[in-house]
Structure 1
Amino acid sequence: MTILIHSEISVRPYQAEIDSIKLYKAHQESFKDTRDFSPLPYDESMKQKSTANYDQSFWFVAYAEDELVGFIICKIFDGKDIYVDLLGVKRPWRKHGIGLALLNTVFRESFRRGNKTVLISVDSNSLTRANQLYERAGFKTVFEVAMFQKMIYY
């Protein structure tokens, strides 16, 4: 199943043997714009995403020709709730509808499999304004958490 966003960009299911290193690099590049991101080595990053809740059949990638430009990685909880763990689009490819297309792909696949709930969490002060994308995709706020910080100087 490949979905053509427009003539230049397509979304398809993740294939580990083809996409894993490209996905890792896209993750490192796209998340450097987020608060407190700390890069991990490839092996450690992939090991973290191989626990029981991760389901690679709910991972999708967006390509512009041979370049992986966006991705979505999901988990499944209790066999029914889909949780979007990571959604990333490389900076030069943002504002092309890739993030929304990846989310819509997960929505379609969730519906096809009978999963009724898709969840995502976001930093409401996201430097990339990710929360605006999620609202456009139809997500509704379930609850909000505030974290406070005070810097102590001596």
Structure 2
Amino acid sequence: MSIHYTFPDGLQIRHATMADLHAVTELIIACDIVDFGKPDYSEDELRQNWQRANFQLATDAFVLHSAAGEIIGYTDICPSRGGIYINALTRVHPDYRQLNLDEALFEMAEAYACQRVTSAQVDATLSPLAWTISTDVKRLSLLEQRGYRSVNTEWRMEIDFHEPPLAPTWPEGIAVRQFVVGQDEQSVHQLIQEAFQDLRDYEYESFDDWQGWAFKHGNFQPALIPIITSGAEMIGVAWCYGFSDGGAWIYQLAIAQPWRKQGLGLQLLRQSFYMLYQHGIRNVGLTVDLQNVTGAARLYERAGMHLAERHDTCEKQLDCKKK
């Protein structure tokens, strides 16, 4: 699908390729340093985004480059059950922000989303979803001006370890062990999908889609993934990655539904902290949907985590009916 959009000052837009992975990552990191004071992204994370289900790199990702070929802007779209996402990683290099290219990228992405739907010979009203951080006042203002409204809020929560964290205390009959490669993959996938099925807008991931990102991450280490069991039954898991800078991220934490409200979530979180600390980790983060029906945010606060950032998902209705 061709792109018909003109940017100022000789800048050109094209579809991204895997060869752009490093340059786009460097763009995002440059923006993070200016906006948040530190880098907060990696090539592995971008590669995962580009390999996620329902996403086609050759048609859904866009890079904006200068006449010299330098990549100075990025955005992408991805179909989902709730609409089409316009990536939170829509970025413009700090040296080019005076050109108001963020708005141009959003306008282009919205137009492309409609083009994608109408080319499929269907009538539709799209709901593009744009994710932004609450401290990015300019981005929030831009989205409001373009007719977006906040429909969901997530917290990024963190904890810093200045001393060894508390070890967990397990009820009688509950055991803990680490993930075993070649044994636990299917069971962990099933546990996570069943545990998350009551979360708002959660989309079921097939085993192939889930393992496509879970095990390809460059920081996958079985020793950092605690599993809790009752007899032969797997009842909880925390999917964690540790990073070389001394930080870690808990991507998924799940307790089987029949075992909830018994304090196991708090103990599993403490087990994760304890294991990560033993491997040199001193900062752990995660995100939580504030509409999570399990009350996860309160659980994380009880474990000592604090609010680091607020992320808002903003929605806008686009009428893409064929004329």
TM tier relative to shorter chain: 0.7 to 0.9
Query: Structure 2 length normalisation: TM-score?
Result: 0.44
For structure 1, list consecutive stretches of 5 or more residues without a partner in the other structure: none
Task: Give 1:12 deviation, angstroms.
Answer: 1.2
Alpha-carbon separation, structure 2, partners of 1:69 and 1:152: 42
Larger Rg: 2
Q: 1:64 aligns with which of 230, 233, 236?
A: 230
Identity percentage over the alignment? 26
Secondary structure of the equivalent of 1:119?
strand
* 1:74-89 to 2 correspondences below 5 Å: 74-89=240-255
Which is worse superposed, 77-86 or 117-126?
77-86
The C-alpha deviation readout for 1:3-47, integer Å capped at 9, x for no partner, is 871222212111123322111110110010112221222122112
Matching residue of 1:127: 293
Matching residue of 1:141: 307
What is the number of equivalent residue pairs in this alignment? 152
Matching residue of 2:212: 47
For structure 2, list consecutive stretches of 5 or more residues without a partner in the other structure: 1-167
The C-alpha deviation readout for 1:38-58, integer Å capped at 9, x for no partner, is 122212211210121332221
Change (3 A) 1:77 1:112: closer
Which is worse superposed, 70-79 or 27-36?
70-79
* 1:17 matched to 2:189: no
Alpha-carbon separation, structure 2, partners of 1:27 and 1:64: 16
* Letter in structure 2 aligned against 1:26: L
Q: Is the 8 A contact 2:237 2:268 kept in 1?
A: yes
Task: Give 1:144 deviation, angstroms.
Answer: 1.1
Task: Give 1:139 deviation, angstroms.
Answer: 0.3
Alpha-carbon separation, structure 2, partners of 1:5 and 1:152: 51
Secondary structure of the equivalent of 1:121?
strand
Q: Is the 8 A contact 1:70 1:90 kept in 2?
A: yes
CA RMSD of the aligned region, Å? Answer: 2.1
Matching residue of 2:284: 118
The C-alpha deviation readout for 1:121-153, integer Å capped at 9, x for no partner, is 111221221111101111010111222346689
* 1:90-109 to 2 correspondences below 5 Å: 90-109=256-275
Q: Is the 8 A contact 1:4 1:10 kept in 2?
A: no
Query: Structure 1 length normalisation: TM-score?
Result: 0.87
